[in-house]
Structure formats: C-alpha cells, structure tokens
Amino acid sequence: MERIVGSTQADSGSIGDSPLLSHLSGTLIGSEIVKMNGDIKEKIRAGEKIFNYTIGDFDPSIFSIPAELEEEIIYAYRKHFTNYPLGEGETDLRQAICKFISDREKLNYKPEEVLVASGGRPLIYTVYRTIVDKGEKVIYAVPSWNNNHYVHFVEGEHCAIETTAENNFMPTADDIQPHLKGAVLLALCSPLNPTGTTFSREQLEEICAMVLKENQSRGASEKKLFILFDQMYWLMTYGTTEHYNPVSLFPDLKPYTIFVDGISKCFAATGVRLGWSIGPAFIINKMKSILSHLGAWSPLPEQKATAKYLLQKGAIDQYLKIFKAGLFERLQKIHAGFQQMKKDGFTVDSIAPQAAIYLTVKIEAVGKKNGAGVLLEKQSDVTAYLLNQAGLALVPFSAFGASHTSPWYRLSVGTVRIEDLHEMFGKLRDSLKKLN
C-alpha cells in the first residue's frame, strides 16, 4: 500500500499572545518518542512499575561500551585532546574507518570520501540538505525513522510507501518503481529501525538494478536519483541473516550512494556521539560545508579513541559475540512469549527477530471495551491502555510515519532485564483478558 504524505505537522501561526515564528518552527513536530518518554518518566517518578521498551538505547548496567574503547576515551582526555577536531573528522579516524569497512564489508573508500559527525542524525540531515531542493521528491518507506521529518525540513515532496507485514515491512522494487520519475533521493535503511528486519539479497538487488536503470535514463542536465543507505545496525544481525549494501551488490551505484553508519548501536555507544558517512567525494565535500556551519562534530577525544579501537579486530569480534548474544536472547524470549499468547487466543503477533535491537509486535484491541466499559476507539487508546493497565510502554508504528490505525509496535530490548519478562507477560495477559 502506498500513500503520499503532505504536511502532517502541527499548525503554524501564533498561539494566544505568542508572536509568529518561522513556518518550519510552527509546523515541525518534535520527537514523539521523546514525548512518550516524558509521560513514562512521570509514572516512574510516581512509583509505578513500567516496562519501558520504547527508546532505542541501552541500559549501561546491562550493555556497556567495549572496555577497550572506554580506556581509549579516558586516555585521550588525559592526553588533553580537547580542542576542535578537523571539520571532516580526524585523519587517523577516517583512515581507520576505511580499513574497518574494507575488512568487514569489502567496501573500498578513501579518507576523503568519509565525513565524521556527532552521530547519524546530523549526517542524515546534511545528506538531505546536500541533495534535495524545495519541492523535489523523496521516496521513503514507512514505518522508518524520521524520514518524514527530514523531508519536511527541506520542504521536499513526500512520497511515503506504507509497507506490510507480509514483506517484513521492507519496501520492494514493485513498491518503489511507480514513483521513480522525478525523485532525487531514495532513503533506505537495513537493518530497519523500527522493525529489526532486513533486506534479502534479492530484494535489494531488484531495487539497486532499478535505480541504476533510472539513472542511466536521465540526461546530463537532470539530477540523478541518489540512495541514502542507513546501515547503523549492520553489525547486529542474528542467525542466518546477512547484511547487504547497494555498492557491494552494484559497484556502478557507488557515485549515487551515501552511507550513514557509526558506533552508536553496534557498540552500545549512543552517548559517545560518533557517526560517519561514506560516499562520493563531491557529495561528502558539500556535506562537510553544511556540517561546518552546524558544528555537529564528534568530540576529539572520542574520535582519537575510536580511531584506535576500530583497528582492534579481535577485541571487536569478542565484544560483538557477547553483546549480540545478550540482545538476541531477549529478542527470542519476547518473540516466543508473543507467539505463545497468539496460540492461546490473544489478538497479538510478532515477527521473528533478524537484526538490531527491535522486535516488531502486534496488539489488536481497537473496538474492545476495558473493565470500566470504556471503548478503545483508536490505536492510541490501545497504546495508553497498555501503559496504564499493563505498565508496558511500546512505540506505535504511527510514530514512524505509518498509519495511525496500524496495530504494530516497536519493542526495543536494549534496556530489557530478562528477570522482568515473566512479570511483564503476566501483566500484559491480565490486561488483555479484561477487554471485551
């Protein structure tokens, strides 16, 4: 199913006696996940037991950053690496990134084709700013992380493709093909936030072949169709799942592909704030110019530390083995719990985990009444009911651009304590039993 999204943001203009501000500030919605967590923290402060599985982060007492990386950061601060870093990122770090992706992904890039920033967000923003002009079409799937907001930032034309559970919520070539003409950016993410699902080799090959053919059909004076490929979770695949990327599959796509990557998720280092883009130098240089005005650089000590850590292959392999095992155990246990509930007749479901820290779960309760006889009219009523009655906090797919009627949720396991799962499922079952 496909839908074109226009401005779905807040109303602009003045409120009461407040003066008028910019159109952007009046129409941009802030993070719905951040807002949800504000409500959740209020309940926790009030003494309620909340199973907060909303935010894509880690509890450091369960999943800490690698000890070697931590020591390198401390050492860098003690060596007083506390001045400005290079605008494009420190040379030793960009060299280390090139070696890291060459060894592990067989992607061959030069340091001048790498841009470092304080995580993935400023890099994604600069990709949009570098490529998309006002009114130009951007194709992206929903649910997906923040593409709808970035298109709004640049005043682009939204072309949002609502994906389905049948395809693990990954867009297909058939979904994308009708919208290629005139599009300048195709935003892809694998493993996908919020679903924890991935492109198969065949799926991504079909999309890549289609993009290459489209670009070959465009004249010299026409803007090409570029791929923004967010692979922040690529090192976090489980079982037989493999990660694929456009350039490895189709080397001719290298001039049209910009990667976004970093250490935030794969090393539980969300607060360390270090990400990178790799892509053609003519795009990376323009992104660098934009980033220079934002000042969204990763701190110098963290850069120096990461430059050393990325070269420690043995330490990284050992860390990922333990880290991924802990995450996968949680994903499997929760998936099994939802599947057992489904067998027991509850209107729930889940998709088997493939990657990242997310499980896709389904809870259908719209049209039912709670114990007080109040009708759950909308999915947002179901979300509130789960929080208030089961103490279970999940992020609805509507927070990622999907339809507000979608019964699917993102469940994040980075803060999950295994010893809490029995209680969580007990409360969830009890709360759903009360509906009629």
28 falls in which pLDDT band (50, 70, 90)? confident
17 falls in which pLDDT band (50, 70, 90)? low
Q: Which of 266, 290, 312 is the last residue of a domain?
A: 312
Residues 102 and 236 in one domain: yes
Its domain, for residue 181, covers: 67-312
pLDDT for 168 beyond 70: yes
pLDDT for 12 beyond 50: no
Residues 43 and 73 in one domain: no
Residues 328 and 289 in one domain: no
Please indicate whether residue 217 or residue 14 has the higher confidence score (pLDDT).
217
* Mean per-residue pLDDT, 83-102: 98
6 falls in which pLDDT band (50, 70, 90)? very low
- 199 in any annotated domain: yes
Residues 51 and 173 in one domain: no
Residue 16 has a pLDDT of 54
Residues 264 and 406 in one domain: no
18 falls in which pLDDT band (50, 70, 90)? low
Reported as a single tens digit per residue, the pLDDT across 269-322 is: 999 999 999 999 999 999 999 999 999 999 999 999 999 999 999 999 999 999
- Structurally, how many domains does the chain consist of? 2
Q: What are the structure tokens assigned to 148, written together?
A: 């709808």
Reported as a single tens digit per residue, the pLDDT across 360-417 is: 999 999 999 998 999 999 999 999 999 999 999 999 999 999 999 999 999 999 999 9
- 7 in any annotated domain: no
User: For the chain, how far is it from start to end, CA to CA, in angstroms?
Assistant: 31
- 8 in any annotated domain: no
Please, what's the largest Cα pairwise distance for the chain? 66
Q: Which of 293, 312, 331 is the last residue of a domain?
A: 312
What are φ and ψ of residue 309, in 5° steps?
-70, -40
Please indicate whether residue 4 or residue 249 has the higher confidence score (pLDDT).
249
2 falls in which pLDDT band (50, 70, 90)? very low
Residues 145 and 213 in one domain: yes
Residues 416 and 364 in one domain: yes
- 207 in any annotated domain: yes
Residues 291 and 344 in one domain: no
Q: What are the structure tokens assigned to 334, written together?
A: 């929760």
CATH classification at residue 181: 3.40.640.10
Burial of 98 (0-12, 13-18, 19+ CB in 10 A): buried
Q: What are the structure tokens assigned to 182, written together?
A: 């005139």
- pTM, two decimals, is 0.94
Reported as a single tens digit per residue, the pLDDT across 412-432 is: 999 999 999 999 999 999 999
Residues 339 and 280 in one domain: no
Q: Which of 284, 312, 340 is the last residue of a domain?
A: 312
CATH classification at residue 425: 3.90.1150.10
